[in-house]
Structure 1
């Protein structure tokens, strides 16, 4: 055991320790002792004494080994798959990550190593640019074995890997033709028949006729996902917690069910028309239907393409959104309603049934067969009101209001019916407070609800968070705003079960931040000391950090060996040009179509939602009497030998990557010009441009 720090509590009993050494493994722990100056210790907290204090139970992912101030590297290559003997080009963009407050790294070098099954294939030292990026290349050995190769990068002088990128090596044969699926109406009602047009065309031009087409259709459960303007409405039923529907499918894998299969042949135009049956009789929920189509040419080469149907149980989707998730007794609560069609577009003039319920939770202290005490909570819905004559307008929206007479959890249930009699139900919740104690129900894991007034925010807004404490009376609570570290902390007094905490949201909290509240109930009654903890995740829009890239070529079609000039402009969210670090890759589309990308989009990499890295521990969880129970394979292909015909104007410059420019800098107006001489391939080329400033990416 080693003393790490000492400190003095402030007037609220709060003490903060700065710059503690980071945890190096999950086995390490922190112990805090509190007491008088004479050494009489009266309090103890232990980070590993966190029994039941896990945010995962409310859908919050954690990463307790995250450290601030560490390098974060985004790696990408000109393409994801190569043949033996071909060149590989790559780039890295490095930032120092202080809980998403990005800084440029200082001058230095990066060691880049490519390995295959533990064997070093290449190692090079690359200098970091003034913009925090580096670029490199290598040529694969002519006898390189097929498989997955990995690029590892580390700072010069350090053994710690700070980034890696996998790419494939395969004796692949580029497809000579493409397969496009035209699915004009992907949203279908149960019992419909979907029509898909298969189009097979050679990359060099012309249609592929009389080719064999086979297909199969798989189903997997998928809830209705509304378009962006309606993301803060609920279109579902379920758990009474705002934002629940945002994370309940996260990370969930649903095994698909095969529904149908068939075959066809392409006509003289390279087309085949497929009739796809949409049958949901065996399901009680909406499904995502994945249609996989395989087209095989005369040489036995197969190209696969996929399209999606969204199969619906009803043509109508009602959505409901309270003006605020927290309301006061006898005060009108605005209720926004919307009706959407299967494609997520407004469905006008739809009659809706709106019912309002009080959800009564009854908690009883009981004992299991071993004599251990636990809470048993049941819920009962009591109808308290119904709104009649509700109909959406010609824009598919309407608003109404309702005044709840009693405090407690209330449910709004909205039902719509399509022309065939198929019903769809949406639910949302309102926590109604009255300035005194409300029983929200007791739990067995020290948990309580934190209810934000909305689920998504933009910088500049203020989040209002209801602290649904299970304890009557006044108690102290520790409030922390967290993500990669504790960003703010304070001790407040919680009065009853309906205290509302306000948190101003800034751009620094994008794309997400967590609020944790621990309420402490002092000893002094028969129940003794107790505690309750709640977490909530707030989504804060990071749009201001996304760059927009505009591209223009001086010609849409060019011949082998000709030059093409590209104009690039990088804009911020206000439409102003910005000086940016840019890279460009011009790659044969036939090669790109072989495998999935081997790197995430750059903006998503730097501004994806972060996991919670702050751990909470308390001995109260152990001192209480109760202990509670509770790249796919890449197909090889032949290379094809010489034709033996005479040599006339031989085209010999054949490359899968026409151009790679690792360092391109736009001017102060965000503009840059790049000229490329095309190789001799007869194909379609795809241009991939990525840009970065200090903290903006696109």
Structure 2
């Protein structure tokens, strides 16, 4: 209800404010006095008020807006597992623990009053809301000193309000790893399949409670081919077989697995639950090729300036070679990401592409077709191809760190089908790699310890290699520029200046360590450069922060997002992850939540006492395979007119190697005759090399000539379950 109406005519500088905004001081230009009420409704028009206007009028402009006079920065972290209300004062100095709350739900006629239990958690320093049905819509918090509101529709925080990191949808809880005995079939063949059914929760993957399900097979047009009921065994797996119709359509097919679950709303009727899976196969009319293509390179690894020697032939399965046959030949490149193995916590190269590919499976390969050519096998059935690699690295476009894929294909004269094979060489920048490991946060008085290693292509240390280390100071420069709309925007750039350099040599393990002292506090970059025998240089760099006496001023940007930077990108269970928050204020409060999927694992509130507050989080088993750290901060530095509110988000990979098994299959003999019995020895070991008893698996025996027509995808359920990046 409006208790007082104050009309006022205001002269506008800009009539068409959709192009350039007008600025009006409510207290000075309209009321002529200081506000004493928490709510002020302002309605303005450049013409006669239009009751049905939405702010855009043909003859003018008008708007209606409610302003709230508040001194609380209410933030709601709304997760299914918990609802946290962070309620600091605007200046970030206080966390009032005696607030009274008026709460409302969204009804058909607007907001309706409804009480929700809200309790102060003295240990955590925030309020906890009980709202299992997720009905809360509007909160008014007040006391003798404080007042604030929160409207979930407008003030709620979405994950997309952060610098969002994508991955596997958190709503997906059920997974089934589906595979068939081979990737390619003919109409009339029998398909053997197996499924590994698991459910993901905060404790990791568990066997599903589902006892029965339905498996369906669809073509690429979503036409049903067949369906069948399956029973889930005690290991939460299922298997079976079906015969492909002889008159079926050819093409690509995929599996769909589903089960019926109780409707949580009614508690009675069942609803179908479709389970995420990756199972697929092809059905084609084909003849098995009579020969296979063999193609090899003279060596696996080369560096800039080398020459590739490729040898190829076509060999009949019954013996002998195909001679004087025409072939097509192509070269395709992809980006290569060096796997440092035991040194995976070191930085190799620049940026995060190396880590994202090796440990997230997010590889920006950048396929690029380099050349195609034709040729003919000689009278011995062989082809020899030479390829010259670039001689130097282009500074603007790195030619090293590429996988060169050499493909050769020959048409089978008996089946008219193309038979092909591919081999590859890795083009390295030079003959070794240098990696560095530097803590992101460092005290200036302690200096900067730079650990490094020089590795060969197999990630083994190389002794007595010279490495050049450089320390660069990075200064962020920021100015405000007025845009064409009249609004001032932040523009920032970084200036770099080399402060010092040193030469180091690797020890007998390939490792080195060096201590730098810095002239200033703030942001720095360490660069490690190794130059090989081909006179090409591989560079790795790492950004770090030096905490000195001066306050660091970060790039503020034009939004409410800042950065949370981890000292290391991957951790093990039992270790402690450390993060540095780039805070635009040196005094305030922050709420930190550790989250996975759609729930909060842990949370706490901390004081902000510097522009680089440190956050340390012990890694728990429940954090596997990755977790997120969210930060909500607010504060106001002395002399500042307004408080600053920021959010930050970081993701941390937790290594899952302890969950990895190795499987080896050894036949009793290397050659058998038709009708012979084949005896195989299957050995399963855990990550420590210890035998694993009771392992559940499957074995497929497939004609090699069939796999020449369709590449056989490697079965890797570990990557399916554990190498995915789950998001919030």
- Above 0.5 in TM-score? yes
Counterpart secondary structure, 2:375: strand
1:271 aligns with 2:376: no
Greater displacement, 354-363 / 12-21: 12-21
1:90 aligns with 2:202: no
Deviation at 1:146, TM superposition (A): 0.4
Aligned residue in 2 for 1:455: 569
1:74·1:94 contact (CA, 8 Å) conserved in 2? Answer: yes
Q: Which aligned pairs between 1:143-222 and structure 2 lie closer than 5 A?
A: 143-156=247-260, 157-164=270-277, 165-220=279-334, 222=335
Counterpart secondary structure, 1:603: helix
1:254 aligns with 2:366: yes
Counterpart secondary structure, 1:102: strand
Aligned residue in 2 for 1:434: 548
1:602 aligns with 2:714: no
Aligned residue in 1 for 2:60: none
- Extract unaligned runs of 5+ from structure 2: 1-105, 108-113, 261-269
2:187·2:285 contact (CA, 8 Å) conserved in 1? Answer: yes
Q: Which aligned pairs between 1:648-667 and structure 2 lie closer than 5 A?
A: none
Aligned residue in 1 for 2:580: 466
Give me the whole-angstrom Cα distance separating, in 2, the residues matched to 1:471 and 1:54: 23
Deviation at 1:460, TM superposition (A): 1.4
- Extract unaligned runs of 5+ from structure 1: 23-28, 614-698
Given candidates 413, 420, 434, the residue that maps to 1:304 is 420
Which string of whole-angstrom CA distances, capped at 9 and with x for unpartnered residues, describes residues 70-97 of structure 1?
3221211111221101111211121222
Deviation at 1:44, TM superposition (A): 1.0
Give me the whole-angstrom Cα distance separating, in 1, the residues matched to 2:642 and 2:358: 37
Give me the whole-angstrom Cα distance separating, in 2, the residues matched to 1:17 and 1:100: 24
Greater displacement, 40-49 / 410-419: 40-49
2:420·2:708 contact (CA, 8 Å) conserved in 1? Answer: no
Deviation at 1:238, TM superposition (A): 4.9
1:373 aligns with 2:488: yes
Given candidates 435, 439, 444, the residue that maps to 1:319 is 435
Given candidates 434, 437, 443, the residue that maps to 1:328 is 443
Give me the whole-angstrom Cα distance separating, in 1, the residues matched to 2:361 and 2:171: 28
The two structures have a TM-score, normalised by structure 1, of 0.77
Give me the whole-angstrom Cα distance separating, in 1, the residues matched to 2:158 and 2:301: 43
1:242·1:451 contact (CA, 8 Å) conserved in 2? Answer: no
Counterpart secondary structure, 1:158: strand
Counterpart secondary structure, 1:307: strand
**CA gap 1:187/1:506 in 2 versus in 1, 3 angstroms:** same
Greater RCO (CA < 8 Å, at least 6 residues apart) = 1
Give me the whole-angstrom Cα distance separating, in 1, the residues matched to 2:647 and 2:356: 18
1:292 aligns with 2:407: yes
Aligned residue in 2 for 1:669: none
Deviation at 1:129, TM superposition (A): 1.2
Deviation at 1:428, TM superposition (A): 1.3
Given candidates 106, 118, 122, the residue that maps to 2:226 is 122
Aligned residue in 1 for 2:99: none
Give me the whole-angstrom Cα distance separating, in 1, the residues matched to 2:346 and 2:616: 22
Give me the whole-angstrom Cα distance separating, in 1, the residues matched to 2:245 and 2:286: 16
Which string of whole-angstrom CA distances, capped at 9 and with x for unpartnered residues, describes residues 15-61 of structure 1?
44678569xxxxxx9846252599x9722153665799747747x21
**CA gap 1:402/1:481 in 2 versus in 1, 3 angstroms:** same
**CA gap 1:242/1:105 in 2 versus in 1, 3 angstroms:** closer
Deviation at 1:271, TM superposition (A): 3.4
**CA gap 1:436/1:32 in 2 versus in 1, 3 angstroms:** farther
**CA gap 1:67/1:433 in 2 versus in 1, 3 angstroms:** same
Deviation at 1:200, TM superposition (A): 2.7
Given candidates 478, 492, 495, the residue that maps to 2:591 is 478
Deviation at 1:356, TM superposition (A): 1.0
Aligned residue in 1 for 2:340: 227
- RMSD across aligned positions (CA): 3.3
Which string of whole-angstrom CA distances, capped at 9 and with x for unpartnered residues, describes residues 674-697 of structure 1?
xxxxxxxxxxxxxxxxxxxxxxxx
Greater displacement, 545-554 / 327-336: 545-554
Q: Which aligned pairs between 1:527-606 and structure 2 lie closer than 5 A?
A: 527-574=641-688, 575-597=690-712, 601-606=716-721
Aligned residue in 1 for 2:506: 392
The two structures have a TM-score, normalised by structure 2, of 0.74
